[in-house]
Structure 1
Amino acid sequence: MIDEFPEHVLDVPLAEVEEAVRKAAAAEITPRFRQLADEEILEKNGPHDLVTVADRAAEAHLTASLTALLPGSVVVGEEAVHADPAVYEALKGDAPVWIVDPVDGTRQFVHGDPGFCTLVALALHGDVLASWTFAPALDEFAVAVKGGGALLDGRPLRSGAPAPGAGLEVATSHPDYTTPDQKRALLGLVTEGVRPRPCGSAGLEYLAVARGALDATAFSWEFAWDHAAGLLLVTEAGGTHTTVAGEPFRITGGNALPFTAARDTATAERIRALLGGQ
C-alpha cells in the first residue's frame, strides 16, 4: 500500500471530492439528524424503504458539486433513479459516473441512530476508480483509490484475516429484500462457526470488513449506490468479493446473487460455498 494517493483520478483532485462530501453532509444531513418532522419522512416501496428531505437535498447538493468538479460527468443517485429508472443506464455509458447514496442507512438516520453514512464512488465503463465513505455522526471518513490503497481518517486500512478457528461474523440482507431462493441461500449461513446477523448501513458494514471488525457480508441486492464505494474500500484494504457464481460483483448489474465481500479470499470462498456457490 502506498503512503499517499495519486493526486488526481480522471483529473479530479481527491481532496476536493472529500470537501464536497463533507459540505453536503454539513449543509443537508447533520442539521436534520434527530430533527426530522413526521412529514419529512416518506415511504418509497414500503415501511422498510424510507426517504427523507435530507436524502433528497443531499443528493441534489452532491449532484451539483461533483459534476462541477468533473465536467462531462453524470450522477447515478439513489433518489434520481427512484424518480427515473432510466438514469441507471448511465453506468453502462461512456461518461464518468458519480455513484451517490446520500444517506445510506436511512432507517438508522430516521431513528436517531448514528450508524448511517454518505457514499460516493467514481466509475468509468463499469470500473470503480475511487470511493468516499463518510459517517458524519461518527466522524469517520474513508477513501479508496483503485491500485492506491484505502485510508480511514488518513490511516491505512487493512482487512487482515480471521484468526484460525474463529467463528465468522457475517452481515446479511434484510429478509424484506430477498426472494424465496435467496432466503434459502442465506440459510446456508446458519451453521456452526458462522454468526449471521441482519445488516445495518451497507456502507458501514463494508467499512467494518475493510478494518477487520467484520468478517464478511452476504447481500442479495445489487444497486450500485449501496455497493460500489464499499467494494472498492474492501478490495483496497486487502479483502475480496465474489458472487455465488465465483465472479467479481459487477456494478452494472446482472450478478448471480447473493454475493459476498470478505476480509480475505479463504473467507470469501467459505461464505460462497455456504451460499450454494459451485
Structure 2
Amino acid sequence: MTTEIDIAALAALLQEAANAEILPRFRNLGAGDIRAKSEAIDLVTEADEAAERLIKARMETILPGALFVGEESTAADPSLLQKLGEADLAVIVDPIDGTYNYAAGMPLFGVMASVVAKGQTVAGIIYDPLGNDWVIAEKGSGAWMCKPDGSQEKLAVSPAPALEDMVGCASTGFYPPETRALIMGKMAQVRVAASYRCAAHEYRTLAAGFLHFLMYQKLMPWDHLAGCLIAEEAGAYVARFDGAPYRPTDLAGGLLVASDRQAWTELREKVFVA
C-alpha cells in the first residue's frame, strides 16, 4: 500500500463524477430520484449514488488498497466508520454535499474528498461543479484555490474583528429545541450567523477570508475532514467544543472553526455555550 497522493488525479476524478453524474441531473430530477433518509431534510438523490459509484470504481487506480468511505456506502454499511479508525490509508468522499440544495435546484453544492493516513487527515479537496474550481490542501502545504485555467491562488483566513462584527455560519438543526433556542439567542451577539446548508461552500468561504467562524454540532467525516484541513492550512483554529483536536473518528462533541484561537475562545465562551 502506498501513502503517496496524486492530488491532481483525485481532483480530476471529482470533476469527472460531477460532469458525468451530477450536472446532467441538476434541476432535472424526477420525483422518484429523490428520497429521504433519516428525516425529511436529510435527502439522497440518484446523482449522489451514481457519483459515488463512479468515484469508488476509479479510486483503486489513484490510491491502491485504500479503504473507501463514502457517505452513501456508509449508509449501506455503517461498519465503515469503525474501519476508518483502523485503516492505514483511507479516502472519504461526499459525492454531493448540500444535497438538499441540489434537490431544490439551488446552485450551492459541492463534491468533497479527503485522504486519511494512519488516523491523520493529510489531503482534502472541495470541488464546485458549477464554478468548475477546486479548493485543495495537503498537510503542511497551505490551502489553494485551483482554477480551471490551471492558475492557483493561496488562501488565507480573514483576521477576526470584534465579536459584534463577526460573520459566520452555524448549523443548529441537530440540537434539541430548547438548546437550539438558547444558542440562536446568543448568536445575536455576532453581526451575521447564517447557514448555507452546505459545509463544502462554508469551508471554502471561510478559507477564502469571507467568514470568521463556522459551527457544527453533527460530525460525520465526509462533511468535515476536507474542510477542516483546508481551514487549518488557511490559518484557522479548529477544535471540538471541549478544546480537543478534531480527529477523523470523532462523531460527536461539536466543532468550532474560527479565524484564530482568541476568536475561537470568545465565540465558545460567549455564543456557542449551552
TM-score, length of structure 2 as denominator length: 0.91
Q: Say if 2:213 and 2:257, in contact at 8 Å, map to a contact too.
A: yes
How far did residue 163 of structure 1 move?
3.6
Matched, 1:160 2:158: yes
How far did residue 254 of structure 1 move?
5.2
User: Which of residues 227, 233, 237 is equivalent to 1:236?
Assistant: 233
How far did residue 187 of structure 1 move?
3.3
Q: Say if 1:115 and 1:138, in contact at 8 Å, map to a contact too.
A: no
User: Secondary structure at 1:12's aligned position in 2?
Assistant: coil
1:270 is aligned to: 266
What percentage of aligned pairs have identical amino acids? 29
Q: Distance in 1 between the 2:164 and 2:217 partners? A: 25
| CA deviation vs aligned residue, 1:215-261 (integer Å, no higher than 9, x gap) | 1111100101000010001000011112221112222015422x211
Equivalent residue runs for 1:85-124 within 5 Å: 85-124=78-117
How far did residue 197 of structure 1 move?
2.1
Q: Distance in 2 between the 1:66 and 1:17 partners? A: 8
Q: Distance in 1 between the 2:102 and 2:76 partners? A: 21
User: Secondary structure at 1:11's aligned position in 2?
Assistant: coil
Give 5+ residue unaligned stretches, structure 1. Answer: 1-8
Q: Distance in 2 between the 1:190 and 1:69 partners? A: 43
Equivalent residue runs for 1:212-223 within 5 Å: 212-223=209-220
User: Secondary structure at 1:46's aligned position in 2?
Assistant: coil
RMSD: 1.9
Q: Distance in 2 between the 1:135 and 1:189 partners? A: 32
| CA deviation vs aligned residue, 1:1-26 (integer Å, no higher than 9, x gap) | xxxxxxxx922221111111111111
1:204 is aligned to: 201
How far did residue 73 of structure 1 move?
0.3
Structure 1 residues 170 and 189: CA distance shift in structure 2, 3 A: farther
Number of aligned positions between the proteins: 267
1:84 is aligned to: 77
Give 5+ residue unaligned stretches, structure 2. Answer: 147-151
| CA deviation vs aligned residue, 1:78-102 (integer Å, no higher than 9, x gap) | 1011111111112111331111000
Structure 1 residues 237 and 94: CA distance shift in structure 2, 3 A: same
Equivalent residue runs for 1:27-106 within 5 Å: 27-106=20-99
